[in-house]
């Protein structure tokens, strides 16, 4: 069973608050970058970078995926295999 002691709860709350502050900061950064009027390629690259970091924070901490390392890597490897398979099959059908 999970550890539900007061110390464990306080530790989790501190992590959630830190992640919330990080997400809020990155949201402010996103808005600030939009005022820089970067060229399209750079704007998209920066937006994707910031969104990827925010997505990682949400997935790792709020969805508790950081504790599921073995299964996550297994699913990621399986998804990469199927992705490559779906790219290769149409290419082979043209031959």
- Indicate the DSSP class of residue 65: G
**Tens digit of pLDDT for each residue in 17-76?**
999 999 999 999 999 999 999 999 899 899 999 998 998 899 888 888 777 778 877 887
The distance from CA 49 to its chain's CA centroid, rounded to whole angstroms, is 10
pLDDT, position 2:
58
CA distances from residue 56 to 39, 60, 73, 85, 88 in whole angstroms, order as listed: 26, 6, 14, 26, 29
d(CA 87, CA 63): 30
pTM over 0.95: no
In the numeric block, the tokens 């290769």 are attached to 88
pLDDT, position 92:
81
């Amino acid at each position: 069973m999970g550890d539900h002691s007061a110390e464990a709860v306080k530790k989790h709350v501190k992590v959630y608050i830190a992640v919330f502050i990080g997400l809020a900061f990155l949201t402010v950064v996103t808005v600030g970058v939009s005022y820089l009027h970067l060229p399209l390629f750079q704007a998209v690259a920066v937006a994707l970078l910031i969104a990827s970091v925010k997505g990682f924070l949400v997935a790792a901490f709020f969805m508790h995926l950081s504790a599921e390392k073995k299964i996550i890597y297994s699913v990621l490897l399986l998804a990469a295999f199927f992705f490559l398979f779906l790219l290769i099959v149409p290419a082979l059908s043209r031959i």
